[in-house]
Amino acid sequence: MNWFKRLLSARSTTSRIALGQVSMFISVALVAIIIGILPDFLGARLKDRVALAEAVAANGSVLITQSDLIRLESVLTLVVERNDDILSAGIRNGAQRLVVEVGNHRNTWQQSSEDRPIDQQMSVPLVAGNQPWGALELRFEPLYGEGLIGFYQRPTVQFLLFCSVILYLLYFLYLRKMLKQLDPSQAIPDRVRSALDTMAEGLIVLDRKFQVVLANKAFSDLLGRSSTSLMGYEVRRLPWGQTDAADFPWQTALVSGETVMNSIVRLELEGGVRTFMVNCSPVLADKGKPSGVLVSFDDITELEEKEIELRRSKEEAEAANQAKSDFLANMSHEIRTPMNAILGFTEALRRGYGKDEQKNDHYLSTILVNGEHLLNLINDILDLSKVEAGHLEVESTKCQPYQIIKEVIQVLSVKAKEKGLVLTYKPEGNIPETILSDSARLRQIVTNLIGNAIKFTEQGEVVVSTRLSDNRKRLVIEVADTGIGMTEEQAALVFDPFVQADASITRRFGGTGLGLAISKKFATAMHGDIYATSKVGEGSQFFLELDIQTDGPVTLINAQSILNWQDRLSVAQASRWIFPKSKILVVDDGAENRELMRLVIEEQGIETDEAEDGVEALTKVASQQYDLILMDVQMPRMDGYSAVKAIRDQGLNVPIIALTAHAMKGIEQRCFDAGYTGYMSKPINIDKLLLLLVKELGAVKQADSLSDTAVGDVFSAGQPPKRAEVVSSTLSGLTPLYSELPTTNPKFATIIEHFIVRLNDIFPAMQASFQDNDDEALGRHAHWMKGSAGSIGFPQLTDLAKQLEQALADGNQTDIEMLMVAIERVVAQINLAGQREMSDQHYSPAPYSKPAVPAHWTVPEQVTSDLAEHGEKFRAIVKKFVVKLGPRIEEMEQAVERQNFVALKDHAHWLKGAGGSVGFHIFTDIAIALEKASRMESQSECAALLKVIKQINDRISV
């Protein structure tokens, strides 16, 4: 049946040739019919009908001349009866009246000449003698039917169809035999073709025109076509992946006459792109010239995909391995750095290298800071481990996002100030006052984002803003900085573990590359997201978006209310507590841990007792009464879980707080289930421990000098007094206010004393300006106080001076009066503290009298600051002063040139106060001399003094 299918298939080569020959025959036959070589059967029959009509008309004309219509009717009747083709006949006179009718001629004859077919109706004129008389009308059977059937009934059509079918069959059978001698595919024996068809790889033979002359079953099945349909097909018409024909390997093989091996081509099929490895061998003719090319196709699509996947996996593995290697190297550095400081300073203390209390305090502060840094590294690694292991759990409790943000800003503002950065919070519009979220995770994310912004910003500002998303379904927290910035590619990678923008970032700024990755995981777990935008050199913007979830109607808070919310200092840091008489049992198998806990607790005046395991704790609980028990979880002999259960079985409801180094959330719940009433993770945070003691023991807040002298409390009743009454406000009941600097150090004591002397010189001038309504002079004094007081350890005075400066700018007289009273009170407290220290001989400050520089102004080779010796925080203050000093000196030089002694006096006044405040006491006396020379308007003396000041500036070493 295959030959019959090929017979009917237009795609068969034999069928196409046979159809072409039949078409040629039809064309020739039609031409022969048109020129009259072949008979026209329809034309012949039509001529016969015309001849019959003419004969009848001639006979009728004779009878009409004789006026013998009866015989004429008989003749017509006879003609109709003898000719089956004639349906009816009639004679019509000149008046168009039918005078003779044979058959149903009257009803079937069509009078209109336009609608009358020539093969169905004929009208022949009749004459009587030489005069027209009428017409003979004959109606015939149609020569052929209507439509498709009528077309087929035409003899010419039947002839051509008959010849076409017979000739197609004959041509097909003939060509089928002949093409075996001409077609290489047909010339191949069937057993060889069967062998080629069983090959798994595709195989084709191309001629010199790159037309297919042979295709095996594998290749034809690949294209979804039969082998015979590909015969003569141009191979370039197939949907190859490349478009340049010169790139095809068979082109190269045919032109060069050499075999081309292992070339790669791609074919775009309906199922997708397939990749083939192609081998091309030229087919040589008799004279050794290539007459074609044999091409084999080996499908390597899956192999290529696996190779690509393997290559990708290898690259990912290498990248991951490199990232982890970099992480381990970085982590080793990050861990060794604080450990080196911890071990080094611990060894220094152990060997007694601390010569005084100040150095010991510095060593201990360094150990504490590095220990906290090391703990943060460990927490980051543990957090990432929990995330990767799928053990991350988040809570859903009420929290105030703006409160968390402001508290984080308050903590990190110290670091920002050390770098000279402005850290601000700018809420935009209304946001939810409370949401359901994990406050601890949220705090950790915000801390990480703001900390990173500060870390990677050298100058400028870090701005935190909050707003609602466009659809008002999410809270958006944005942290924008003016730091080093990133490229788009780096911004997309910073949320991957162990990844920072590049290696130079790690070397320059440190860090593990875990913070943002952990924050990203936390945000996702909290139904939110984190993303970043950045430009190199212009800063970065990190966005945290959280779904707004509440347990009731959403309450919004506006931006102004957020800004008015008072920052809360740590209770343990800002307050002192009076504890009731209490006794606490500390249970821990580590002697050092018990010692630390006892030290902290006894500092609060609380009695402590110790036990090293659960067994000893049960013995002590049975014999004594405790107000609180701090108990470790893992201990020898009897662990904390068993000990708590035994205590609860005895019916004791004493509060028991779990102390454990495990930071997993499941451990916390297990502690509560065992009978603990609270939970604290190790290492113990002293501030948190104090807050817990306050809560559990019911401590009462002790009155504090700063909190008791808040500005709002100065005029708590009635209207503020008039300006004239302010200076006479009572200052009774004051408590001393001491500097935060270590006053036991003589160097610091000297700095503090100099400041107090200067303060007592400036404050009367402030009061005079206040009384005289000289807001400009009052503003200058407030500006000095704002900059100097904080450096000397009196931040209370700095805050009040800052508020006074703002009140002067706003013209708020009520606030100015209130702040002047508050400043007077703080100044009195500072003086009271100085008097008490002198009387108690806590320290013996050096007398403030003789100039540090001789009369001839000898300048040492190196000028250093006493303040810079006490750590990086103080060194940063000194550096800021040095940066400002250069432009100030230039302004002094310009003032001397222009003889602007008023401006020069102001500059000298600034140098006198600021230089001594930052530890450059060499400037104090020369600034006093310059200030005096300015008042005397002595240009030469001012120029000489300024020259010495420039020399001092050139020799400054920080």
Instruction: Give per-residue pLDDT as tens, 213-265.
Output: 888 888 888 888 887 778 878 888 888 876 555 678 888 888 888 888 888 88
- Rounded to an integer, what distance in angstroms lies between the CA atom of residue 468 and that of residue 478? 11
State the pLDDT at residue 480. Answer: 92
131 contact partners, CB below 8 Å, separation of at least 6: none
Give yes or no for a contact between 277 and 263, defined as CB atoms under 8 angstroms apart.
Answer: yes
Mean pLDDT across 112-129: 74
Q: What is the pLDDT, as a whole number, of residue 709?
A: 37
Q: Point out which residues pair with 863 in neighbouring strands.
A: 956
Provide the 3-class DSSP secondary structure of residue 501. coil
Tokens 């777990």 identify what position?
525
161 C-beta neighbours (distance < 10 Å), count? 12
pLDDT above 80 for 189: no
- Cβ proximity of 196 and 216 under 8 Å: yes
Q: Considering only CA atoms, which of 487, 486, 468, 488 is closest in space to residue 478?
A: 468
- The pLDDT mean for the chain works out to 76
Q: How confident is residue 42, by pLDDT bands cut at 50, 70 and 90?
A: confident
* 374-378, 695-699, 933-937: least confidently modelled range: 374-378
Whole-model pTM? Answer: 0.35
pLDDT at residue 683 is higher than 70: no
Count of CA atoms in the C-beta half-sphere (13 A) of 627: 18
- Whether the per-residue pLDDT at 942 is higher than 80: the answer is yes
Sheet holding 583-587, edge to edge: 607-611, 583-587, 628-632, 656-660, 678-681
| Model pLDDT, residue 383 | 60
DSSP 744-770: TSHHHHHHHHHHHHHHHHHHHHHHHHH
Confidence of residue 867 (pLDDT cuts 50, 70, 90): low
- DSSP for 450-489, please give it: HHHHHHT-SSSEEEEEEEE-TTSSEEEEEEEE-SS---HH
Q: Is 192 exposed, middle or buried (0-12, 13-18, 19+ CB in 10 A)?
A: exposed
- Check pLDDT > 90 for residue 131: no
Dihedral sign computed on CA atoms, order 807, 813, 818, 823: positive
Q: How many CB atoms lie within 10 A of CB 253?
A: 26
The answer to whether the 746-839 and 866-954 domains have the same CATH topology is yes
What is the reported pLDDT for 390?
53
For residues 366 and 369, give the distance between their C-alpha atoms in angstroms, rounded to a whole number: 5
Q: Give residue 400's pLDDT band: very low, low, confident or very high (50, 70, 90).
A: confident
Residue 591 has a CB neighbour count (10 Å cut-off) of 10
Q: Is the pLDDT of residue 656 over 90?
A: yes
> Is the confidence at residue 887, as pLDDT, over 60?
yes
* Cβ-proximal residues to 468 (8 Å cutoff; 6+ apart), any chain: 429, 430, 431, 474, 475, 476, 548
The Cα–Cα gap between 900 and 628 comes to 71
Report which of residues 544 and 305 the model is more confident about: 544
- pLDDT at position 841 over 70: no
pLDDT greater than 60 at residue 772: yes
Between β-strands 607-611 and 583-587, what pairing exists: parallel, antiparallel or unpaired? parallel
Rounded Cα distance between 119 and 42, Å, is: 9
Q: Could you tell me the end-to-end alpha-carbon distance of the chain, in angstroms, rounded to an integer? A: 104
Domain limits, the chain: 1-39+155-180, 59-142, 392-569, 576-701, 746-839, 866-954
User: Do 371 and 338 meet the contact criterion of CB atoms below 8 Å apart?
Assistant: yes
More confident residue, 181 or 920: 920
- The three-point CA angle 71-73-79 to 5° equals 105
**pLDDT on residue 464:** 92
Q: Tens of pLDDT along 686-732?
A: 777 888 888 888 877 654 433 333 333 333 333 344 443 433 333 44
Task: Pull the structure tokens for residue 331.
Answer: 């982590």
Within 10 angstroms of residue 392's Cβ, the number of other Cβ atoms is 18
Spatial distance between the Cα atoms of 842 and 834, rounded to a whole number of angstroms: 10
- Please tell me the distance from the alpha carbon of residue 678 to that of residue 672, in angstroms, as a whole number: 7
Cα 830 versus chain centre, distance: 53
Count Cβ atoms below 10 Å from residue 814 Cβ, excluding itself: 11
Residue 112 is predicted with a pLDDT of: 64
What is the average pLDDT across 802-821?
A: 82
Packing angle between helix 439-455 and helix 401-418, nearest 10 degrees?
Answer: 30
So what's the pLDDT on residue 845? 35
For the segment 846-855, the average pLDDT, to the nearest whole number, is: 36
Question: What is the tens place of the pLDDT at every residue in 447-503?
Answer: 888 988 888 888 889 999 999 988 888 899 999 998 888 887 777 777 776 555 444
Give the separation between CA 824 and CA 182, rounded to whole angstroms: 121
Q: What is each CA distance from 426 to 128, 166, 462, in whole angstroms?
A: 124, 96, 11
**Distances, alpha carbon 898 to alpha carbons 389, 885, 911, in Å:** 74, 20, 20
State both tokens at 261: 């091996």
φ and ψ of 631, to 5 deg: -130, 130
Q: Please name the residue that has the structure tokens 């700024």.
A: 509
**Residue 10 pLDDT greater than 70, yes or no:** no
Cα separation, 295 vs 196, whole angstroms: 13
Percent of the chain with pLDDT over 70: 76
Give CA 556 to chain center in angstroms. Answer: 28
Q: What is the CA radius of gyration of the chain?
A: 55
What is d(CA 525, CA 510) in angstroms, rounded to the nearest whole number? 28
Residue 423 pairs in a beta bridge with 462
**Amino acid, res. 916:** G
Q: Which amino acid, 570?
A: S
CATH of 746-839, one of 3.90.120.10, 1.20.120.160, 2.60.40.10, 2.70.70.10: 1.20.120.160
pLDDT of residue 703: 44
- Higher-scoring residue by pLDDT: 45, 533: 533
Residue 268 in this model has a pLDDT that exceeds 80 = yes
Across 297-301, 628-632, 684-688, 739-743, least confident range = 739-743
Helix runs in 526-661, H state only: 559-564, 571-574, 591-603, 614-623, 640-649
Tell me what pLDDT residue 852 has: 37
Query: What DSSP character marks residue 229?
Result: G
Among candidates 146, 138, 51, which has minimal Cα distance to 87?
A: 138
Q: What per-residue confidence (pLDDT) applies to 569?
A: 38
Question: Which residues lie closer than 8 Å to 837 by C-beta, 6 or more apart?
Answer: 738, 743, 843
* pLDDT range class, residue 780, cuts 50, 70, 90: confident
Q: Which fold has domain 576-701?
A: Rossmann fold (3.40.50)
Burial of 647 (0-12, 13-18, 19+ CB in 10 A): buried
* Closest to 930 (Cα-Cα) out of 887, 956, 892, 897: 892
Percent of the chain, pLDDT > 90?
A: 6
Mean pLDDT of 120-145: 84
Contact between residue 800 and residue 816 where contact means Cβ atoms under 8 Å apart: no
Q: Pick from 889, 902, 863, 887: which is nearest to 943 by CA?
A: 889
Backbone angle region of 794, left / alpha / beta, with phi > 0 → left and psi within -120 to 50 → alpha: beta
- Per CATH, the architecture of 866-954 is what? Up-down Bundle (1.20)
CATH 3.30.565.10 fits 392-569, yes or no: yes
Average pLDDT over residues 534-558: 85
Q: Of 842 and 741, which is predicted with more confidence?
A: 741
Would you state the structure tokens that stand for residue 68, as one six-digit string?
A: 């013998």
- For residue range 405-455, what is the model confidence (pLDDT) as tens digits? 888 887 777 678 878 888 999 888 888 888 888 887 888 888 888 988 888
Whether the pLDDT of residue 186 is over 60: the answer is no
In the numeric block, which tokens belong to residue 851? 């100039």
Q: Rounding to the nearest 10 degrees, give the CA dihedral for residues 790, 794, 796, 799.
A: -20
pLDDT given for residue 169 in this prediction: 83
User: Helix, strand, or coil here: 118?
Assistant: coil
What pLDDT is recorded for position 620?
92
